[in-house]
Chain A
Amino acid sequence: MGARRILVANELASYRQTIAIVFRELHPGVEIIEVEPEAVDEEVARLVPDLAVCSRITAVVRERAANWIELYPECKPFSTICIGGEHTAMEEVDLSDLLSVCARVL
């Protein structure tokens, strides 16, 4: 099995850094990569992460990431989680929901 990777590309900077540091601390064996939202397509295509977290899902993310979280698009309290092709829409996602997704996909 290759290295496990999570790509964190949500807006805004301190939010992205927060999610990345929480994932790093809880999953020290997983490579956590932070990228600017504008770079998400390129990095998803290059790294093919096990999970991508972004604020706006793109066609490339849908196609190339096995699992993804569209977190608070346009800063609205709705998020969508996709695990293995199965989509779940959620209102007011909390941190434990994000950690649960990590636990499921890793």
Chain B
Amino acid sequence: MLESEAFVSTTAESGSKHEATRGDRNFVPKPSDNPSRDPAAEAASAHRRPRVLMANEPRAYREGIAAVISQLRPEVEVKTVEPNALDTSIERFSPDMVICSKATDALKGGVRVWVELYPENAAYSVASIGGRRMEYTEIQLPDLLSIVDKAEELAGAN
């Protein structure tokens, strides 16, 4: 069951009501283009939780989808940010999957799995899963969860 108290306390962490990391609160981002040679660090990296970055609009839906993913996929670390922080957050958080309203070049070039959810507030959405483009006339919540699962698989395969 979703816990409203847990949700509120999560959104309030780090002094920002609207930017929150669910899960590991001591997460320190590792640059994805700078692989460690330390065996212990490599082992830790190999077992890191899959990460999903949420940057879609509007806010209540961003937070709602994040809460649902966190609840139904507890092994996944979910972070929500404002849409204008998407590119910098990709750099800092190294997500395995991004959900946003407008795909940027940094997103397309740096993240293997992403969903452009209702761009321009239209009903259609576009996803890219490991380079394979998918189009949805009206994406459903189970579709999003299925894409999260695929992102997990791809992250685990690396």
Q: Please report A residues at the B interface, Cβ cutoff 8 Å.
A: 12-15, 17-19, 21-22, 25-26, 28, 71-72, 74-75, 77, 92-99
Contact = CB atoms under 8 A, between A and B. Distances in A.
Contact of A94 (B2, B59, B143): B59
Contacts of B58: 72, 75, 77, 92-93
A23 to B, nearest CB: 9
Contacts of B11: 94-96
Interface stretch (B35-43, B62-70, B89-97, B102-110): B62-70
Interface of B: 1-2, 4, 7-8, 11, 17-18, 57-61, 63-65, 67-68, 71, 117-118, 121, 123, 138-141, 143-144
Contacts of A15: 61, 64
Contacts of B65: 14, 18
A97 B63 CA distance: 11
Contacts of B118: 12
30 contacts: A13-B138, A13-B140, A14-B65, A14-B117, A14-B139, A15-B64, A19-B64, A21-B68, A22-B2, A22-B68, A25-B2, A25-B71, A26-B1, A72-B60, A72-B61, A75-B121, A77-B58, A93-B59, A94-B11, A94-B17, A94-B59, A95-B11, A95-B63, A95-B64, A95-B67, A96-B7, A96-B11, A97-B60, A99-B4, A99-B7
Task: Rank and list the top 6 A-B pairs by shortest CB-CB distance, nearest first.
Answer: A75-B121, A95-B63, A17-B141, A25-B2, A18-B64, A15-B61
B2 A92 contact: no
Where chain A touches its partner, the secondary structure class is helix
Nearest to A79: B60
Contacts of A71: 60
Looking at B17, B71, B140, B141, the one whose CB has the most chain A CB atoms below 10 A away is B141
A14 B7 contact: no
A96 B67 CA distance: 11
Of the listed residues A15, A28, A92, the one surrounded by the most CB atoms of chain B closer than 10 A to its CB is A15
A45 B121 CA distance: 29
Contacts of B18: 94
Contacts of A18: 61, 64-65, 68, 141
